[in-house]
Chains A and B, each alone.
Chain A
Amino acid sequence: MEFKYIAILTGLCLLAFLLYKETHRFNKARLIWRILANIIAVSCFVLLIVPIRYKTSRPQNTDEVILITQGTHPDSTTNLKGKKYALSSANPKNTNVITIPDLPYFLKSNPNIRKLKLYGYGLNKAELAQLKGYRVSFHPAANPTGIIAANWPGKLKTTEVWQVQGTYQNSGMEPVKLLFKGLGKTVDSIEIGAKSSQPFSFKTTPKHTGKAVYELVSLQKTDTLAKEPVPMQVGDETPMKVLIMASFPDFEYKFLKNWLYQNQYPVAFRSQISKNKYAFDFLNLDSLNLTRINSSSLKKFDILIIDEEELAAISPDERSSIALAVKNGLGLLIRVANLKSSTTLGSRFSRFESPALKGKLLNLKLTEDNSKLTALPIEQGLFLKPEYTDKPLIVDASGKTLVNSNIDGYGKVLASTLSSTFHWLLSGKKNDYAAYWSALLASAARKRNNVLTVDIFPQFPAINQKMKIIADLAASGQVPILKIDSILLSPRQNMVLPFQWDAFYWPQKPGWTYLEVNQNVEPIYIYKKTDWQVLKNQQKLDETHQFIKNLNTTETKSKVADVVLEEKVSIWWFFIGFLLAAVFLWYEARILAG
């Protein structure tokens, strides 16, 4: 410090002396220039001895890496400085990029890397999990154009309606037409406007039995943008067994019985003809003793249709066995005709009367899918009052409930005040009759227990990609035998749910493949790597965004203070300044003055 001031003082003295000399010089020409040159020369000289230092704060200078992932536009990375790496999936075009075959391995082998700059669609969940503790910044690519979400039931029963739903994101400037194709024809289509994202929902009733692959084709004018497979299968199931108990035979029962019979449903029909005397019909079914109902005979049926009078007329132990069977899963449909209920099962549904409109048709609606049925020419006065625990199935145009349902134990109880649906059959509206009774019976009937349910992760298992198979088995305890492509897998039992087993597999062939679990065969569709690419990319984008969001919140706490650096201005600048000033003084004295 001392030295600095001494130097400055001597410098000032020297300057004063020099200035005095200059002013007293005989030759007064270019005096100002000379004074200036003197000042510069002296000050530069002093600064040569005492260099200027200053402080700067600089961000921590760690090793930074640019990571190019799939979807990165090639032009956007060419101007970037720094080391560029690319995942092999990104398929980099420019040569000055180093390809990384495996990200975790690369990160482990380069421990000095602390910071990552992600370009493109980002990484998937598994890869992102490896990046914990790194500083990651994300420069996402533009939103991809295509289907970014889709879902559909993979298994269907005959005549069931199949619904395929999803979202299409169109980032382009032109509208896109999305076609839903299958079994040789276009089922439905939708147009998605430019720069918009639109949900779609396609409905169809597949007519085949077995497996089929539908397609979602996106078209821009005549160019096909993408073709995504939508695999599904339709299976025939054993029909439900129906027991009908009537206090007296009426048309409603007669038509229902015949309709079920013609559709090959096993039906047992009992109607009272006198005290303890019944008439029996066994349709598509072996005869059994139904004079007295007990729990074992009820076990043979999936649904019981009974009118309230009959329910009140049967013996109390029959009633209690019905109640028990319902708790164990039997479906019960009670036909209600009176305002007051006469049984406990019937009293679960409160009713009210509303004056019937004369000469008006009764318009009915299925609450399930809001589909309307053809109006019935009947005057309906009795309605049901649904409680908050109930689920109405059929309502009229003004929203009054006609068929109501609620849960009793494992089973379901339905009540219907409609007494003459056969009008539909009489007027030739077969489909309405079928829709009505299908809705009622399907929602009431006992649920069939699957022997096996299989879940696959991810949603779109592709070839050469890890696939997780989760199998729920009815019988727990034994290790199941899982086979796929005739390769034996080693299942792992769930720690909490003993009936759940999972296994991993890397499929090799695209298309349908068969998973064998014990003796059961379950078809699984394996996608090509290019299928549903847009959806996968969008998932990556979303996951990476989410990851960055979570990262930023945790990072603020452990933010490292920046390093403060002291820097000195290079003395060469001052030397140059001194030299120039000195040269001027010399040149002026020798040449200009001389």
Chain B
Amino acid sequence: MLNTEDRNWITNLRIKWISFYLIGMVSIALATALVLSFICVYPLHYSPWLFAIIFPVVLGILLYIKPIWRTTDQDITRFLNNRYPELEESADLLLQNEAELSLLQQLQRSKIENIIPKLAQPKEPLKKLYAGLLILLAGLLISFAITQIPLRDNDSLKDREKANQIQPIKENIPAEISDFSAIVIPPPYTGKAERNQKQFTITAETGAQIDWKIETNIGIKKLSLIFNNTEIIPLKALNKAHTRWTVSKTISKSGFYQLDLDGKKSDLYQIEAIPDLAVTIKIIQPKQHTTIDIGQPQKINLKVLLTDDYGINDAFISATMASGKGEGVSFTEKKLSFDTNFGSRKTIALAKLIDLKNLGMKPGDELYFFIKAMDNHGQSSRSDVYFVSIVDTTELMSLAGMTNGVNLVPEYFRSERQIIIDTEKLLKEQSSIPVQTFKNKSNEIGIDQKLLRLRYGQFLGEENETEIGGDHDDHDGHTEHKAEGEKFGDVTSIMDKYAHKHDIAEDATFFEPEIKAQLKAVLTEMWNAELRLRTYKPQEALPYEYKALRLLKDLQQKSRAYVAKTTVKTAALKPEKRLSGELDKITQPVQKMTFEQKEKRIATLKIALARLESRKIGRKFTEQDQFLLNQTGKYLIGAAADHPATYLTALSSLRKLSTGNKLIINDIDLVQRAIQKMIGPEGAKPQMQNAGAASALYQSYFKNLNKTD
């Protein structure tokens, strides 16, 4: 008997051990799952059902790590042996069949049989339990803290919203309603918490769900909401007494609604939907048109600023490359991504270095790109198209433009091109020639560049200190002047003799300002090139030379007009035959139309305005006026459905006016203002002037005005 008692003791211990351990494990799993799911639900806005998944998963993991249910009696005896030295490492004897034991074993067994019941219950399972419960408590505390953190955030958000909101509008609530609330649940993409309000006027994000809970003090058969005077939504009664009602609706656009309590209609309440705006894209760098000259790095640094009202999900660059010329143009499209995590942030500053060479762009190619961004509601927006072009140097060097058209000043262009060719040649030879020769040659090219610059300077009326080029002509002029200058009293020739002429005013006005500006730019580039050449840096001078050449090419193109040659021969006209054809069979076309005013809206509103004005003096509305007000009301409903904030109060005032007999000037004013806003600004219309009634006399006076002469 004793034997079984001991066995039971051990089994009990095992059960206790397992159960305590399990409870502890479940608590740990619970705590972990709680913390995890709270993190997911609160800041990340996942569904609370997530908990149902996390908890079993965590528990499963824990049980897999420590399969506690597999604990056997042997495990327990081993533990007991370790724990209690009194058992003298023989607790397992108790589990063995008595018959199979040796004598010594039997002796030992009977010895410990007496000891076991006297042993104190081991504290380990209890410790495990306590540890588990402690972890659970900690988990609860942490999850509570998690709920608190975003709540505080929400609070500040609410504060801001409150600040944005105009102070609560005073509402007329039907007497039957004892209590009500409207819960606004913003759509998930806004990341806003739901809010409860005790006001019928609703401001909610587009797509938000509104739950109305209305309690009435008496039982009502039917309670419904009427939206925009058209859509009727009945409320559901929650109890048998028909005093608690609820309904929910998703708001997609602004409008207004009213309550209908057994046919008794309440005031009108406004619903304002705040739409979600698409991402605004601001490209800070580069400029809309960028040209990359030779020598400049073929890279563009793109800087973009994106802003959205709720969060940005994605953005990428859509780039199109155009290569080739004329009919051989080919386009390749590429989608470049920003390597960033957007994470629904509201503003993101992005930067990307686009390597044009990597994109496969050659000189002469153009890159068009725009940026497309999506917000977390799935709305996309795109920026303007930006252009980047790489200058083609071969194009500049070609003589195509020279050979087939007017050539204004050919030698100048050749010179700039010559300078480039010289520079490139010099650079090629650099390694093979002595330094001094290199320097001399560079300097010489620099002098050439200077001469060219000075000649262009003349076009702008700049002072030409050395009289390069023009020098010769000038001399001719002077000698001629001298020959003629003997004429007596020729003041200009005498003045020419002594005066040193600087700018020639006529030259200065020779070109249009636009061309002049470009000429100036050419000179600047030439000057930069000359500077580099003279300081023996031909490599650096090359980009400036190219730029100068490109600008010159542009100039050349601008001053040219093409007229396509046509070879059309027309028959000679016979003037005597003109307009002498037979026209008797030709019928005269007659068109007749009458403009149908589709809408009498404006006319009705105008009359209603005057009618309201006369109501102010005290004239009561007649039946006809009621009809007019009804019509006006219809138009006003339409306007209020679109812009409840502006027209809703006017609509309720109009209803008050048409039903009530009391004269309320304020209401009339309100309606009049709304009607005037609805009519909007009007353009002038030609109107005939009026003449006095008895105009026969005046008419004859005017008719006789011209008879004097």
Cβ-based interface call for A375 (8 A): no
- For A472, the chain B residues whose CB sits under 8 A away are 692-694
Q: Please tell me if the beta carbons of B692 and A441 are within 8 angstroms of each other in the complex.
A: no
Residue among A184, A212, A284 with the most chain B CB within 10 A?
A184
B687 touches which one: A237, A277, A279, A280 (CB < 8 A)? A237
**Does A143 belong to the interface (CB within 8 Å)?**
no
Taking the closest CB of chain B, its distance from the CB of A211, in whole angstroms, is 6
**Cβ-defined contact, B690 with A184, below 8 A:** no
Complex-state Cα separation, A282 to B612, whole angstroms: 39
- Interface 1/0s, chain A 203-218, versus B by CB < 8 A? 0010111111100000
Closest to A160 in B: B687
Given A184-B671, A276-B583, A499-B693, the answer on whether A408 and B706 have CB atoms closer than 8 Å is yes
CB pair B609 A275 closer than 8 Å:
no
Stretch at the interface among B286-294, B364-372, B425-433, B672-680: B672-680
Knowing A184-B673, A279-B588, A291-B588, say if A261 contacts B683 (CB, 8 Å): no
Of the stretches B276-284, B353-361, B410-418, B592-600, the one at the interface is: B592-600
Whether B491 is near chain A, meaning CB under 8 Å from some CB there, is no
Q: In chain A, what residue has the closest Cβ to B579?
A: A275
Question: Nearest-CB distance from B376 to chain A (Å)?
Answer: 36
How far apart are the CA atoms of A387 and B613 in the complex, in Å?
A: 47
CB of A100, distance to nearest CB on chain B (Å)? 36
- B682 engages A205 (CB within 8 Å): yes
CB-nearest residue of chain A to B608: A208
Asked whether B499 is an interface residue with its Cβ less than 8 Å from the other chain, the reply is no
Say yes or no: is A473 at the interface (Cβ < 8 Å to chain B): yes
Q: Are B586 and A277 in contact (CB under 8 A)?
A: yes
- A404-446 to B contact mask, C-beta < 8 Å, 1/0: 0001111000000000000000000011001101111111011
Does A451 lie within 8 Å of B687, measured CB to CB?
no
Please give, as numbers and ranges, the residues of chain A lying within 8 Å of B592 by CB-CB distance: 281-283, 287
B693 contact from A157, A273, A277, A449, Cβ within 8 A: A449
Q: Are A275 and B610 in contact (CB under 8 A)?
A: no
Does A185 have its Cβ within 8 Å of any Cβ on chain B? yes
> Contact between A280 and B591 (Cβ–Cβ < 8 Å)?
yes
A262 to B683: give the CA distance in the assembly, Å: 13
Within 8 Å of chain B (Cβ to Cβ): is A151? no
Specify which chain B residues have a CB less than 8 angstroms from the CB of A185 in the assembled complex: 669, 672-673, 676
Instruction: With a 10 A CB-CB cut-off, give which of A240, A281, A329, A447 has the most chain B CB atoms.
Output: A447
A159 at the interface (CB under 8 A from B): yes
B661-705 interface code vs A (CB 8 A; 1 in, 0 out): 000000011111101100101111111111111111101001101
Tell me, rounded to whole Å, the shortest Cβ–Cβ distance linking A414 to chain B: 12
How far is it, in angstroms, between the C-alpha of A489 and the C-alpha of B589 when the chains are bound?
Answer: 58
B686–A442 touching, CB < 8 Å? yes
Asked if residues A210 and B591 are in contact (CB atoms below 8 Å), the reply is no
B 572-615 to A, binary, CB cutoff 8 A, 1 in contact else 0: 00000001010100101111111101000001001101111110
Question: In the complex, A156→B579 CA distance in Å?
Answer: 51
Q: Is A200 engaged at the interface, CB distance under 8 Å to the other chain?
A: no
B702 — which chain A residues lie within 8 A by C-beta?
407, 409-410
Chain A residues, CB < 8 A from B686: 240, 265, 437-438, 440-442, 445
Contacts of B706 in A (CB 8 A): 327, 408-409
- Provide the bound-state CA to CA distance between A240 and B688, in Å: 6
A159: chain B residues within 8 A (beta carbon) = 682-685, 687
A430-B613 Cα distance, complex, nearest whole Å = 30
Is A328 part of the binding interface, using a Cβ–Cβ cutoff of 8 Å?
A: yes
A274 interface residue per 8 A CB criterion:
yes
Chain B proximity of A555: nearest CB distance (Å): 42
How close is B689's CB to chain A, nearest CB, in angstroms? Answer: 5
The reply on B561 being an interface residue by CB < 8 A is no
What CA separation (Å) do A184 and B653 show in the bound complex? 13
Return the contact of A279 from the options B589, B611, B668, B676 (Cβ within 8 A).
Answer: B589
User: Residues of B contacting A476 with CB < 8 Å?
Assistant: 694
A-facing residues in B502-549 (Cβ within 8 Å): none
Instruction: Determine the residue in chain A with the shortest Cβ distance to B681.
Output: A431
23 contacts between A and B (CB under 8 A): A158-B606, A184-B670, A185-B669, A209-B610, A263-B685, A264-B595, A277-B583, A279-B591, A280-B589, A283-B593, A283-B594, A283-B595, A327-B703, A409-B706, A438-B685, A438-B686, A447-B691, A448-B688, A448-B689, A449-B691, A474-B694, A474-B696, A499-B693
Task: For the complex of A and B, list the 8 residue pairs with the smallest distance between their C-beta atoms, beginning with the closest.
Answer: A210-B610, A184-B672, A184-B669, A499-B694, A441-B686, A208-B609, A434-B683, A447-B691
Residues of B bordering A, CB below 8 Å: 579, 581, 583, 586, 588-595, 597, 603, 606-607, 609-614, 616-617, 668-673, 675-676, 679, 681-697, 699, 702-703, 705-706
Q: Which A residues form the contact surface with B (CB < 8 A)? A: 157-160, 183-185, 205, 207-213, 234, 237, 240, 261-265, 273-284, 287, 291, 302, 327-329, 407-410, 430-431, 434-435, 437-443, 445-453, 472-474, 476, 497, 499-500, 511-512
Q: A274-B583, A473-B694 are in contact. List 11 more A-B contacts (CB 8 A).
A: A159-B682, A205-B682, A208-B610, A210-B607, A210-B614, A212-B613, A262-B595, A327-B703, A431-B681, A431-B684, A453-B693
